[in-house]
Amino acid sequence: MKILLTGATGYIGKRLLPILIDQGHDIVCCVRDINRFFVPLPYKERVSVIEVDFLKKETLAIIPKDIDAAYYLIHSMSSSADNYDKLEKESALNFVSQINKTQAQQVIYLSGIVNDDTLSKHLSSRKKVEEILTSGTYAMTTLRAGIIVGSGSASFEIIRDLVNKLPVMITPKWLNTRCQPIAITDVLEFLSRSLLNPSTYNQSFDIGGPNILTYKEMLLGFAKAKNLKRWIFTVPVMTPKLSSYWLYFVTSTSYKLASALVSSMKVEVVCRDTRINALLGVIPMSYDKALSRALIKIETDAVASSWKDSLVSGRFKTNISAYLKVPKKDCYIDRRKMEIIDREFTINQIWSIGGETGWYYGDWLWDLRGFIDKLYGGVGSRRGRTNKHEIHAGDSLDFWRVLYANKEKGKLVLFAEMKLPGEAWLEFKIIGNTLYQSATFRPRGIWGKLYWYSVLPFHGFIFKGMLNKLIA
């Protein structure tokens, strides 16, 4: 069967893709920027990639007419604090209009549990999208999930950050709200088994694990899994705005995402029924088991996808393609070079940079720059990286975004997503037996020029020290 996969670069889409391929399907992946979508070599024969923006109706004509089914995994929650609900509505309307022109028999939508009488803006938007998608000429299947537990998920990473960093937590009262977490493995099982299954047509299902827990119990459960002692005290004085700032400064989440999550965490997300479990033969795992599996993935460096790699986790307002060509005109450039001893060693060093590995020299200065960035509303350096040794175009890397990564050519290009009075690139390139390292800054006005000269003294030993470590 030919399956249309939207949100192919997202947390769920990246993990669903290999499952669908293993089932024997041909997959058409919809991406907004083809340059940031990496297709592993074994999948290339079964995967085609098209560049589509569901907010731009004219780009949708490229969607094949002969698709058999489609997954709708598009969310705009953190792209704008004010109008993401309007963006989600527009995307859904454009999607329905185009899919109605195809041969698609079914559309599968992953939504949120919307059983509470009072819904947040985020959950109300999800419910509205479901209503729009149901208006199509195809059979509709909606799977409603609460908190998804898995390595790299936004909720899991927030829990991990809080527990790892705070022995004592003074927390908002919404930590006493009940939810029904579900393992990412089970979410993928429900998504894949629902595909072209007539028993799921024109129905909505709640999906969740066997445990109903408060967010406080989830935090303490994670602490137990890590053999950590943690004390949590809830107070009624934390406003939604203060709670959002609390999450933003302590965890790796963006403020916009933190704000949306806080509003949703005040709403109880518990399944009304679990009839789909018997219908599809899925027995969801417990919260403790889901935690154990996620921690193993992290420890073995086997995290398949992360919410942090989404463009909305950074400052990008357009495709990375627009920044791929490093400018020269009206720029300040710090160029350095050094003869390499072992090409493979140097490549591996470059490809392991950032995250837990660090930047090889003056790490405390990099951390300080990340902290300052957080204070000014930037991404900071807590995003780290998804994989310790592999990076691809589109991945986040501390406060950088990977624009280009090619091991064979020995070239890596990073773009700064920190708050800056200008734009900055960091480039590594091996030509022959020489490693070239370039820091390029395009200033914006007088403040940009002053910024460059203020940090220039640090370049002398930071970049020189890093270059030495990349060689030997």
Task: Give the CATH number, domain containing residue 450.
Answer: 3.30.530.20
pLDDT computed for residue 166 by the predictor: 87
Of 285, 308, 331, at which residue does a domain stop?
308
Q: Are residues 91 and 20 in the same domain?
A: yes
Q: Are residues 319 and 233 in the same domain?
A: no
pTM of the full structure? 0.85
Residue with tokens 């001893």: 341
Helix or strand holding residue 206 (H, E): strand 203-207
Q: Are residues 353 and 304 in the same domain?
A: no
Q: Are residues 120 and 238 in the same domain?
A: yes
pLDDT computed for residue 451 by the predictor: 92
Taking the CB of residue 247, how many other CB atoms lie within 10 A of it?
A: 22
Joined together, the tokens standing for residue 190 give 């429900």
- 109 forms beta bridges with 72, 142
Q: Are residues 333 and 410 in the same domain?
A: yes
pLDDT computed for residue 81 by the predictor: 46
Instruction: Identify the three-state secondary structure at position 42.
Output: helix
pLDDT computed for residue 318 by the predictor: 59
Domain tally for the chain?
Answer: 2
Asked whether 50 and 340 are in contact (CB, 8 A), the reply is no
Q: Are residues 370 and 236 in the same domain?
A: no
Which residues are CB-neighbours of 465 under 8 A, at least 6 positions away?
A: 360, 361, 362
Q: Are residues 405 and 287 in the same domain?
A: no
Q: Give the integer Cα–Cα distance in Å for 432 and 471.
A: 14
Q: Are residues 267 and 387 in the same domain?
A: no
Residues in the chain: 472
pLDDT computed for residue 415 by the predictor: 93
Q: Are residues 245 and 162 in the same domain?
A: yes
Amino acid at 192: S
**Pairing verdict, β 213-214 and 178-179:** antiparallel
Sign of torsion over alpha carbons 97, 100, 102, 104: positive
Residue segments in the chain with a per-residue pLDDT below the cut of 50: 78-81
* Domain assignment of residue 291, given as a range: 2-308
Q: Give the integer Cα–Cα distance in Å for 469 and 18.
A: 37
Task: Give the CATH number, domain containing residue 214.
Answer: 3.40.50.720
Q: Are residues 30 and 165 in the same domain?
A: yes
pLDDT computed for residue 80 by the predictor: 47
Q: Are residues 294 and 321 in the same domain?
A: no
Of 252, 279, 308, at which residue does a domain stop?
308
* DSSP letters for 289-303: HHHHHHHHHHHTT--
Q: Are residues 74 and 31 in the same domain?
A: yes
Of 238, 273, 308, at which residue does a domain stop?
308
